[in-house]
Chains A and B, each alone.
Chain A
Amino acid sequence: MELFLNGFINLATDPIAVLLFFSALIGGLFFAALPGINMVTLGAIILPFTVYLTPTHAIMIYGVIYVSGTYGGAVMAILFNIPGSAENAPTAFDGYPMTQQGKSGKAIGAAIVSSSLGGMISAIVMMLAAPTVARWAIRAFGPPEMFSLIFFGLSVVAAVGAANLWKGWISVLLGLLLATIGTDPSGGLHRFAFGTYYLLAGIHFIPLILGFFAMSEVFVQAEKMRTKTYRAPKVGLEFPSFMEFWQLKLAIVRSWILGFFAGVLPGIGATLAAFLSYNEAVRWSKHPERFGKGELEGVVASETANNAATGGAMIPLLALGLPGGAITAMMVSVFMIHGMDPGPLIMVRAQDLVWVLFVAMFVANFFIFVLGYIETKTIVNLLRIPFRILSPCIMILATVGAFALRNSLLDVWVMFLAGIAGYFLRRSGYSIPGIILGVILGNLGESAFVKSMQMLHYNWFAFFGRPVCAVLLAAALLTLFFNAFKSAMQMTIPSQVQKRL
């Protein structure tokens, strides 16, 4: 408590720190909300300027950007079905249908409160348990466990978001296949590169997200406008009530646990946390059929988990010097720029810095609640803009966002082709988030598998000799067989016929 108070006083009594705090808060929210650019872009832009800042100020900025940026992408996901980042994709599953039903304010309100709660509790646990949790994570998780977790995560994702289980799996596998483009992790051989330098680096997931979500959404809505079936979403400014949240308390707790521990694992982070949490919300719900059609619990599960992951991600960074993702990797760079060795001794040698970071992340989560409430009453009015005016804006932002990634028009072409493909895939009932997650986790999963095989001397059964692997693989196989059985039952008696009878 004393350390927390010291950290708070150090932050609050430093006018430069306060200014940087609010700048990072608003910057993270703003950048994450725009399609094509996200908090990583903002982090990359300000990295060179951190030379002129104190280490405390510099690290604090990134912590705040991480918190506000993770929530910021939810707004576009809910209003326009265009997630700002991959971890906001599950939020769109139910957030966008809620917007179409005129409940956009309620959806954004739910995202605010869940993000804020998930992040604040995560920050508290981070303060209390960073070294202990980090030591457990490093000892318990090797390549076999990483592969098993990714396999479990993908089996979960395959079960949601598509017209049926088979299309869900095809979507995930398509993403995995796209992720193989480039060089293989075992021997560095070129795969599906066709001799071009561009494809040697692989297809980046940001143009794919922009294409599959933003561009395809524009095409879908443009078609509806042409066939006069377009219905402008009603603007709803209502904020969710306390009772609505109280009824979801179990979902919030479960999502927080999943999000926090997924955030601790390097590379997995908020994206898988959000998908896992959403799937568990569906699995444990008394009315799973309501998910995907505007169920508040879907938004709550996803946003609680992805913000809970932010605190978890700081643990391996601060306790062990291991970055878990792009933002935390930049934080390692900040340490090194200032001549500090990221690692366990940071928590001893730079205790003031660490506690300012903890306090800043905690307070940032609180301010998300305040700013988000204001946002609920203001940003939702974007829905009043006619789509024929909004669509070219989305397209230009997506085009420039894809180009800005690597200053390459090929990324823009990838985005456009993904938009066309996404348009047809969505019409056919395939899962776009499944494809995206397959792309994101494909390289990590293959790399973990290669290392696992080398470690375990190509003995597949050795996976089941490791407790964590055994549990995760068993859960994945059970998920797969249970969903297959459910699909087979539906095949025997189609649901529409069941309703008629």
Chain B
Amino acid sequence: MVKFKDIILETGIWAVITGVAFALTFQFNEPLQQYRYGAAGWPRVIIASIVFFVLIQAIWSLFQSRSKEIIMGEVEEQVSDLPSEPRGALAHVKYLAAFAVPLLYLVLLPRMGFYILTPFFIAGYMMLLGERRLVHLIGTTLLIFVLTVLIFVELLFVPLPVGNWPGFYEINSLFLSLIK
């Protein structure tokens, strides 16, 4: 069951999104000769509709929570249908790392280049998810990397990033010239 604070948080997030979007519509709110409603008309109707449905959703969730409280006589915690282990600090770190590692990959990609960075990312993410066998780590990394290069670089001529940090650009370019 959804808690009261979750409902308020969700509603608040939507309020911020719609508020910011509505404020931005004033930047293109110029009248148009050929169209009465202007460029801001359509987005504003959408924003107003989102606000309308968010309010209904909040009221609906509150009413549902309240109904269950009254009829069941207790507040039920939201229960997953699968058992889960209690989270320790390490589990929290690994949970955040599942998002942070791809983020770091994206930040470094234009700087270090695809050909150097990607093998480390593949191996690192597998290790993060629990893979420890060296054969799998190296083998899978090579397989994914080679297939990606074959399909996207050789077959589709996609110009993957070669990096702009000193040293990395040269190494990536050397690798490209070798495979071409």
Known: A404-B152, A458-B36, A494-B67. A225 touches B130 (CB 8 A): yes
Chain A nearest Cβ from B28, distance in angstroms: 5
Most buried by B among A186, A389, A494: A389
In whole angstroms, what is the CA distance A223 to B130 when docked? 12
Contacting chain B: which of A52-60, A341-349, A409-417?
Answer: A409-417
Q: Is the CB of B158 within 8 A of A446?
A: no
Q: Say whether B82 faces chain A, with CB atoms less than 8 Å apart.
A: yes
Q: Is the CB of B53 within 8 A of A226?
A: no
In the complex, number of A-B residue pairs with CB atoms less than 8 Å apart: 171
Contacting chain B: which of A62-70, A126-134, A448-456?
Answer: A448-456
Q: Say whether A106 faces chain B, with CB atoms less than 8 Å apart.
A: no
In whole angstroms, what is the CA distance A352 to B95 when docked? 60
Q: Is the CB of A184 within 8 A of B28?
A: yes
Most buried by B among A184, A190, A496: A184
Contacts of A173 in B (CB 8 A): 46, 49-50, 53
Using a Cβ–Cβ cut-off of 8 Å, how many residues does chain B contribute to the interface with A? 70
Contacts of A174 in B (CB 8 A): 50
Contacting chain B: which of A262-270, A311-319, A366-374, A391-399?
Answer: A391-399
Contacts of A170 in B (CB 8 A): 14, 50, 53-54, 57
Bitwise interface map of A from 214 to 227 toward B, beta carbon under 8 Å scored 1, else 0: 01000100111111
Q: Is the CB of A187 within 8 A of B121?
A: no
In whole angstroms, what is the CA distance A231 to B81 when docked? 12
Contacts of B53 in A (CB 8 A): 166, 169-170, 173
Bitwise interface map of B from 80 to 101 toward A, beta carbon under 8 Å scored 1, else 0: 1011110100010011001100
Give residues 93-136 of B contacting A (CB, 8 Å): 94-95, 98-99, 102-103, 105-106, 109-110, 114, 118, 121-122, 125-126, 128-131, 136
Chain B nearest Cβ from A191, distance in angstroms: 5
Q: Is the CB of A166 within 8 A of B47?
A: no
Q: Is the CB of A395 within 8 A of B71?
A: no
Q: Say whether B138 faces chain A, with CB atoms less than 8 Å apart.
A: no
Contacts of B30 in A (CB 8 A): 187, 189
Known: A191-B28, A226-B95, A403-B158. A177 touches B47 (CB 8 A): yes
Q: Is the CB of B144 within 8 A of A227?
A: no
Contacts of B136 in A (CB 8 A): 389
In whole angstroms, what is the CA distance A449 to B46 when docked? 13
Q: Is the CB of A487 within 8 A of B60?
A: yes
Chain A interface, >50% SS class: helix
Contacts of B68 in A (CB 8 A): 494, 496-497
Using a Cβ–Cβ cut-off of 8 Å, how many residues does chain A contribute to the interface with B? 67
Q: Say whether A38 faces chain B, with CB atoms less than 8 Å apart.
A: no
Among residues of A, the one whose C-beta sits closest to the C-beta of B151 is A34
Q: Is the CB of B95 within 8 A of A388?
A: no
Q: Is the CB of B126 within 8 A of A388?
A: yes
Q: Is the CB of B160 within 8 A of A403?
A: yes
Among residues of B, the one whose C-beta sits closest to the C-beta of A416 is B106
Most buried by A among B60, B67, B72: B60
For the complex of A and B, list the 6 residue pairs with the smallest distance between their C-beta atoms, beginning with the closest: A388-B129, A186-B35, A184-B39, A166-B57, A189-B39, A222-B98
List residues of B whose CB falls within 8 A of some A CB.
10, 14, 21, 24-25, 28, 30, 32, 34-40, 42-43, 46-47, 49-50, 53-54, 56-57, 60, 63-64, 67-68, 71-72, 80, 82-85, 87, 91, 94-95, 98-99, 102-103, 105-106, 109-110, 114, 118, 121-122, 125-126, 128-131, 136, 140, 144, 148, 151-152, 156, 158-161
A420-B99, A494-B67 known, 13 other contacts, Cβ within 8 Å: A41-B156, A164-B57, A173-B46, A184-B42, A186-B32, A186-B39, A189-B30, A222-B129, A231-B82, A389-B136, A392-B122, A449-B42, A487-B60
